[in-house]
Amino acid sequence: MAKFSKLMTVSLALLLVVGMMAGCQRKKPLDTFTTLDDDDGTGVERTTGDGLPGMNLEDLLFVPGSEYGLQTVYFDYNSDTLRGDVMDTLRSNAEKIKQFPGVAIQIAGHCDERGTQEYNMALGERRALAVRQYLIQLGVSGDRVVTISYGKEFPAAVGSNEAAWSKNRRAEFNRAR
């Protein structure tokens, strides 16, 4: 009887393992890639080659910190004058923008917490307009670039010190809607 019980246990265990394996779906191998199209009927899959299947390249303009993304520029206190250290950043941004002629850009001007709401809204707008004007001088079409001011409403850094204020005096780049 002990032999029969042991045989039954082994048989049930095997049946359980086989059942579990039959229920498992085969997973897609990690080295496959997403098909973008097969319009030519060859059956050959194609990708953009950028490692980002299905993502529009112009979306990379708006990925913060990306090497392809548009970089934020910063201003001195109470100023809408473009500093010398931001000129290279704006030239790089202009070249990136010109690569995607169908993309409209919004430049958002920001201020630190000091000053009245009215003053900071006006200063944020002047900052955004200064950046827009420089991009136009660099060859970006003006009809693709809009401006907005947020004043002190959306700080990048919280704090009442120069470290926070210097991060909040900025112009950021967004996709225009």
32 domain-assigned? no
pLDDT value of residue 177: 79
Number of domain units in the chain: 1
User: What pTM does this model have?
Assistant: 0.69
Task: Assign residue 64 the CATH number of its domain.
Answer: 3.30.1330.60
pLDDT value of residue 97: 95
Spans of the chain below 50 pLDDT = 7, 12, 15, 17-18, 20-21, 24-38, 45, 47
76 domain-assigned? yes
47 domain-assigned? no
pLDDT value of residue 64: 74
pLDDT value of residue 6: 57
pLDDT value of residue 54: 56
- Residue range 134-155, pLDDT digits in tens: 999 999 999 999 999 999 999 9
Q: Report yes or no: 139 and 118 within 8 Å, Cβ to Cβ.
A: no
107 domain-assigned? yes
pLDDT value of residue 166: 97
Q: Report yes or no: 16 and 4 within 8 Å, Cβ to Cβ.
A: no
171 domain-assigned? yes
Q: How many CB atoms are closer than 10 A to CB 124? A: 26
**Domain extent for 81:** 57-175
Q: Which helix (H) or strand (E) holds 154?
A: none
37 domain-assigned? no
pLDDT value of residue 1: 56
